[in-house]
Amino acid sequence: MTYTKRFDGRQLDELRPIEARVGVVPRATGSALFKIGKTHAIAAVYGPRELYPQFLQDHQRGVLRCNYNMLAFSGAGERVRPGPSRRSKEISMVMEKALFPVLDMRAFPSTVIDVFVELIQTDAGTRCAAITAASLALADAGIPMKDLISSVAVGRIGNAIVLDVTKEEEDYEEGMADIPIAMSTRTGEITLLQDDGLLTKEELINALGLAKKGCEDIKRVQIQALKNKYKEEP
């Protein structure tokens, strides 16, 4: 089966329109808005602050704690049930593991840095948008980082590998595989690689190459968002 024309008219290796801003939540230590197509994520960082109860403290370094949440009417489908769910807890854990490798938390022993991400509108790629927004918010908060983390989902639809999958493509019935990827493009380190579907070795290699290209494009937007904030400051 061939898949050559995408539902929204994009090329197979083309991202949806991207927008990023930082400093969008005034009372947070750092914050960011990241939009990719119709998926919009707002991230807010609070801390470092002392972690309680004390038995959870790491006396060598700080702890990163992420919270992912989709608003009830954010999706194109059925209403999302408010409150924590197995999916939101799983994605919160995925975010922590994707972001922690680039953070230098040794300067903050016995503390916690909380990252809250709200998805206010969704059209697939929500965990990738959440990770990208959270990375920007951490940079805006001044947390020491080796690099920004950029994230995008690659998919296999039929015989085609496509970049930045939409909900309509996720729901495609024949031969769909969804591959969320997060990486540091500076070091080449992949901090998230998940796969929901069957892939050949060649398809996975192609998907990783396409994801790297997408993450490089996203990172340029992230960097520009940070530069824009400091251009605006007196």
Which of the given ranges, 40-44, 70-74, 107-111, has the highest pLDDT on average?
40-44
Residue 101 has pLDDT above 90, yes or no: yes
Instruction: For residue 214, name the pLDDT band (cuts at 50, 70, 90).
Output: very high
Written as one string, the DSSP assignment of the chain is ----S-TT---TT-PPPEEEEE--STTSSEEEEEEETTEEEEEEEEEEEE-SSGGG--SSS-EEEEEEEE-TT-SSSSPPPSS--HHHHHHHHHHHHHHGGGB--TTSTTEEEEEEEEEEE-SS-HHHHHHHHHHHHHHHTT--BSS--EEEEEEEETTEEEES--HHHHT--SSEEEEEEEE-TTT--EEEE--BS---HHHHHHHHHHHHHHHHHHHHHHHHHHHHHHHH--
Instruction: Report the chain's mean pLDDT, rounded to a whole number.
Output: 90
Residue 168: predicted pLDDT:
84
Among residues 177, 114, 123, the alpha carbon closest in space to that of 10 is found at 123
| Threshold 0.95, pTM exceeds | no
Give the strands of the sheet with 30-36, arranged side by side.
18-22, 30-36, 39-50, 111-121, 63-70
Residue 41: predicted pLDDT:
97
Tell me whether strands 160-163 and 30-36 are parallel, antiparallel or unpaired: unpaired
- In angstroms, the CA 204 to CA 47 distance is 38
Higher pLDDT, 187 or 218: 218
Mean pLDDT of the region 132-148: 97
Instruction: For residue 36, name the pLDDT band (cuts at 50, 70, 90).
Output: very high
Residue 76 has pLDDT above 90, yes or no: no
Residue 33: predicted pLDDT:
98
Instruction: For residue 192, name the pLDDT band (cuts at 50, 70, 90).
Output: very high
H/E/C letters for each residue in 42-97?
A: EEEEEEEEECCCHHHCCCCCCEEEEEEEECCCCCCCCCCCCCCCHHHHHHHHHHHH
Residue 1: predicted pLDDT:
57
What angle, 0 to 180 degrees and rounded to 10, lies between the N-to-C axes of helices 126-140 and 86-99? 50
Residue 197: predicted pLDDT:
82
pLDDT digits (tens, 9 = 90+) for 150-175: 999 999 888 889 999 988 888 776 66
Residue 2 has pLDDT above 80, yes or no: no
- In angstroms, the CA 129 to CA 40 distance is 7
Instruction: For residue 232, name the pLDDT band (cuts at 50, 70, 90).
Output: low
Domains, in order of start, for the chain = 18-232 (3.30.230.70)
Residue 175: predicted pLDDT:
62
Pull the structure tokens for residue 234: 């007196």
Residue 78: predicted pLDDT:
60
From 7-11, 134-138, 169-173, 176-180, the region with the lowest mean pLDDT? 169-173
